[in-house]
Structure 1
Amino acid sequence: MRSMGKLLAITSALSMATLLSACGGDTAPQTVGSVAPPAGGTPTPTHTFEVPTEVKTYEGIGVVQNYQYNTRSDGAVQAGQLYAGDANTVRNSGISVTYSPRDAIFEVTINRPAGGVNTSAMRFQDPAHRTDFGGAIQPQAGVPQLATSKNIQYLQSGSSTGARLGAGSPYNTPGAQQSDYAVGSPGYSSTVQTFFYQKPGTTTKYVTYAGFVRNTVSATEQQDSATSPTYLRQSYSLDRAAFVFGERTANSAVPTSGSGIYTGDMIATVAFNPALDTDPTTPTYFQWIEGSHTTNVNFATLGVTSNFTGTVKAPALDAYTSGAFYLPAGSTFTATSGATIDLVNKGGFTGNFSVARFVRPGLPDFVIVIAGSSIDGAFFGPNGQELGGGFRVVGGTPDERIDILGAFTGKK
């Protein structure tokens, strides 16, 4: 199964600098990062993150999560639940992105066993792998439609076997019709993966953020005993990831004095289910958060403070569950973290969160009891002009599944 669409090429122009020639006082324009041409010569273009000219592999900093379960046509619960999440560090990535500008090919690899997400090198090479929102072919369920101004590029590939559930099937109940994911007839299976990223140069020049969605869905007809009626079982394995990648600053080039305020974008994926104790039938759904962040860095004291805010998007629903969720679309997420720069031991900055909450329309605010949290980031650009990283906030109230995992970028 493949989705088709349109991918904007990475074509933002390189900045130009005018340098004094060594001969005769003439001046000639020079591309930043290139070797100065002879007087009156033509600038020699070089590779940049915005306008790549060579194959490069970037390590990602970010987070992953996986949720596995099954539903059945004669029930309304998610059974066999298995959830995992993980946030990597600057020096323990497990996420890589390779881009070939000659052939416009992306290869993405995610290997985070603690978060339940492992992929071989996913190769997006067919022009038809490029897709977007609008029209008959769009990104799959669970992929966030981010603001047009964010200039998000979507690539998608996958395959399926068997047929989807037909209109005349006895299993085609309202519980099946609510599903945003594919609902299969007996014997159906599909695996589709989507990689999306912000086009470099849109908000930041040296780092960008990205996301990953992989949905594996299968259907089998079963019965509990030889005399019981048959039912349709839908099995799900859902992967999510958010991370940043780009041209990191060498440790020796990170400022050691002064301060800076970095502002930029944030995306996050959240599992939010506070009702496991009061209503065990309440399903868990993944939801995306789109927003912004501000980070204050004091290079002299090595202190880093970040504030996040974002808007929650509606979840993708599955088949045969109640469809109930406790985090309405339009809810606001806010959080504050503190970190310390440690370039020698950490390669960037690391810390944790002091507060995180959701403001929910029509419902009481939800302040998260934090059991664990992390923020890991690095500086990007020749002299630390930009930064990016990943974060995680884990809820600590018993019998709740609350896990927020995100990525952020920013520039001075």
Structure 2
Amino acid sequence: MRLLILLASTTMLAACGGAGPQSAGSVAPSGGGTGGGDGSGDTHTFVNPTTQKVYKAIGSTHSYQYQVVNAGDPGARQGSQLYQGDANTVRNSNLTVDYNPRDAIFNVSFSNGLAGTTATSRFQDPLHRTDFGGALEPQFGTPDLESATFGMQGINYLESGSGNNVVRRPGGEFIFDLIDTGAPGSRDVTTFFYQTPGTETQYVTFAGYLRNTAGVVESDIDNPDGSTSTLLTQTNTFERGAFAYGELAAADDIPTTGTGSFEGAMLATMVFNNLPDTLGNTDTYFQWIAGRATTSVDFGANTFALSLDGNVGAPLFDGTSRAHSVLENAQFRANGAGQIDLVAAGGFLGQFNEAWIVNPGGGRLDINIAGSSIDGAFYGPNGEEVGGGYRIVGGTPDERIDILGTFVGRGN
């Protein structure tokens, strides 16, 4: 039996965030059973969990660490940059979620040394549940997936973290000031969000997370003219990830003949900076992408094709240049294909052959793909749903382009 590849936690908590009263799930599974589970004979169900579970997640994560001196001032730029990313396979993932339905508490871990991600969070306080539209909202950089830009339903948000001696400046940028200039300040907040199981698919769904960490210090420097200048340095570490999770189908339940088409949601986190050669600007900003995925499968030939169609959200600005090429509400498209290999891969795997972005107004940005991956699996009775993760890495010299995400789908 294959390992359960996906996110345990989200499957079972339905936090407040656009899904109404919270429960383990709000829609009963369709007929045909509960899916393959983890091969232990457990009767755990995806929409309405009854037992504590630890799931492995499939998807991708990335991180970006850098410094900004005097953020918000003219000429402020990102320096000391370190970017890392990694896509997990179905059977090779250290990303886990542990959920206990008895107490509605779960622990998530998105620690991945290859991606530079270290987020681990325990969501136990009912106040960790949050949503858009009130006095308290998810932190800056969290995608409002139920907004007009993305148009999704049943999205739940959980958030925890801490801050010390910093206050964020008014406006739409990730910049902090020290409350006590004689002491350093810090902020470290993790937000986890997911679609309520049963909203669209019964045995698999998608989730994402972000962690925004900032350290702020003030220092004095001596100028050549004998005067002294005060510098405020902010060190940011941003983490992002997107995953699919659910109840895996048993390998012997997956069809060996015929074809199938699966429709569902896609989510991605992206960095896109093609400006270093043209503008000499290495400032890089995270953006979310959300939309639809179509997975076409030929079970007899053991092949599949994946098509992604998403809208791009606004960049996460930080008091630097704001120079970027992909505008809010741009369209993202990508097509890929590959093989089904239940024995070696535990599902299906492949690559992308094309990807591009169309900005509002019609400007097209084609991505020169240096590397890519698609990793997925079948879920539910007879493999009636699919889910997985993907990555697209740009290959043009002097560009930082990386798109990492997840997709799910239900058979038509």
TM-score normalised by the chain length of structure 1? 0.86
The answer for unaligned runs of 5 or more in structure 2 is 1-14, 36-42
Q: Any idea what the Cα deviations from partners look like across 1:367-389, whole Å, max 9, x if unmatched?
A: 00000001000111121011100
Counterpart CA distance in 2 for 1:260 and 1:337 is 16
| Aligned amino acid, residue 207 of structure 1 | V
The answer for unaligned runs of 5 or more in structure 1 is 18-30, 35-45, 166-175
Find out whether 1:83 has 2:83 as its counterpart: yes
Q: Specify the alignment match of 1:273 in structure 2.
A: 273
The alpha carbon displacement at 1:127 in A equals: 0.2
Find out whether 1:164 has 2:167 as its counterpart: yes
How do 1:212-227 and structure 2 match up within 5 A?
Answer: 212-225=209-222
| Secondary structure at the counterpart of residue 248 of structure 2 | coil
The verdict on how the C-alpha distance between 1:264 and 1:212 changes in structure 2, with shifts beyond 3 A counting, is same
Bigger Rg, structure 1 or 2: 1
The verdict on how the C-alpha distance between 1:199 and 1:13 changes in structure 2, with shifts beyond 3 A counting, is closer
2:206 to 184, 202, 209: 209
Counterpart CA distance in 2 for 1:178 and 1:401 is 27
2:16 to 6, 29, 42: 6
* Identity among equivalent pairs (%): 47
| Aligned amino acid, residue 131 of structure 1 | T
| Secondary structure at the counterpart of residue 314 of structure 1 | coil
The alpha carbon displacement at 1:192 in A equals: 0.2
| Secondary structure at the counterpart of residue 65 of structure 2 | strand
Q: Specify the alignment match of 2:156 in structure 1.
A: 153
Provide the alpha-carbon RMSD of the alignment.
2.1
| Aligned amino acid, residue 167 of structure 2 | R
Matched-pair contact (CA < 8 Å) for 1:282–1:322: no
| Secondary structure at the counterpart of residue 383 of structure 1 | helix
Matched-pair contact (CA < 8 Å) for 1:282–1:325: no
| Secondary structure at the counterpart of residue 164 of structure 1 | strand
Q: Specify the alignment match of 1:197 in structure 2.
A: 194
The verdict on how the C-alpha distance between 1:142 and 1:159 changes in structure 2, with shifts beyond 3 A counting, is same
| Aligned amino acid, residue 157 of structure 1 | S
| Aligned amino acid, residue 165 of structure 2 | G
Q: Specify the alignment match of 1:105 in structure 2.
A: 105
The alpha carbon displacement at 1:9 in A equals: 2.2
Q: Specify the alignment match of 1:398 in structure 2.
A: 397
The alpha carbon displacement at 1:222 in A equals: 2.3
Q: Specify the alignment match of 1:358 in structure 2.
A: 357
| Aligned amino acid, residue 211 of structure 2 | R
Counterpart CA distance in 2 for 1:15 and 1:6 is 21
Counterpart CA distance in 2 for 1:282 and 1:178 is 23
How do 1:33-72 and structure 2 match up within 5 A?
Answer: 47-72=44-69
Find out whether 1:338 has 2:331 as its counterpart: no
| Aligned amino acid, residue 213 of structure 1 | L
Matched-pair contact (CA < 8 Å) for 2:119–2:211: no
Q: Any idea what the Cα deviations from partners look like across 1:37-60, whole Å, max 9, x if unmatched?
A: xxxxxxxxx631001111111111
Matched-pair contact (CA < 8 Å) for 1:287–1:313: yes
Counterpart CA distance in 2 for 1:14 and 1:402 is 41
Counterpart CA distance in 1 for 2:329 and 2:119 is 32
Q: Higher mean Cα deviation, 223-232 or 235-244?
A: 223-232
| Secondary structure at the counterpart of residue 214 of structure 1 | strand
Q: How many residues in Structure 1 have an aligned counterpart in Structure 2? A: 373
| Secondary structure at the counterpart of residue 117 of structure 1 | coil
How do 1:247-326 and structure 2 match up within 5 A?
Answer: 247-281=247-281, 283-319=283-319, 321-326=320-325
The verdict on how the C-alpha distance between 1:177 and 1:131 changes in structure 2, with shifts beyond 3 A counting, is closer
Counterpart CA distance in 2 for 1:156 and 1:407 is 21
The alpha carbon displacement at 1:179 in A equals: 4.7
Counterpart CA distance in 2 for 1:261 and 1:207 is 16
Matched-pair contact (CA < 8 Å) for 2:33–2:381: no
| Secondary structure at the counterpart of residue 287 of structure 2 | strand
The alpha carbon displacement at 1:182 in A equals: 4.8
How do 1:111-190 and structure 2 match up within 5 A?
Answer: 111-120=111-120, 122-147=121-146, 149-164=152-167, 178-185=171-178, 186=181, 187-190=184-187
Counterpart CA distance in 1 for 2:295 and 2:281 is 40
Counterpart CA distance in 2 for 1:362 and 1:12 is 41
Counterpart CA distance in 2 for 1:13 and 1:346 is 31
The alpha carbon displacement at 1:225 in A equals: 4.4
The alpha carbon displacement at 1:124 in A equals: 0.3
The alpha carbon displacement at 1:119 in A equals: 3.2
The verdict on how the C-alpha distance between 1:199 and 1:362 changes in structure 2, with shifts beyond 3 A counting, is same
Counterpart CA distance in 2 for 1:248 and 1:116 is 28
Matched-pair contact (CA < 8 Å) for 2:305–2:335: yes
| Aligned amino acid, residue 308 of structure 1 | L
The verdict on how the C-alpha distance between 1:15 and 1:305 changes in structure 2, with shifts beyond 3 A counting, is closer
Matched-pair contact (CA < 8 Å) for 1:61–1:243: yes
Q: Higher mean Cα deviation, 267-276 or 222-231?
A: 222-231
Q: Specify the alignment match of 1:369 in structure 2.
A: 368
| Aligned amino acid, residue 154 of structure 1 | Y
| Aligned amino acid, residue 334 of structure 1 | R
| Aligned amino acid, residue 10 of structure 1 | A
How do 1:377-388 and structure 2 match up within 5 A?
Answer: 377-388=376-387
The verdict on how the C-alpha distance between 1:32 and 1:364 changes in structure 2, with shifts beyond 3 A counting, is closer
The verdict on how the C-alpha distance between 1:203 and 1:16 changes in structure 2, with shifts beyond 3 A counting, is closer
| Secondary structure at the counterpart of residue 127 of structure 2 | helix
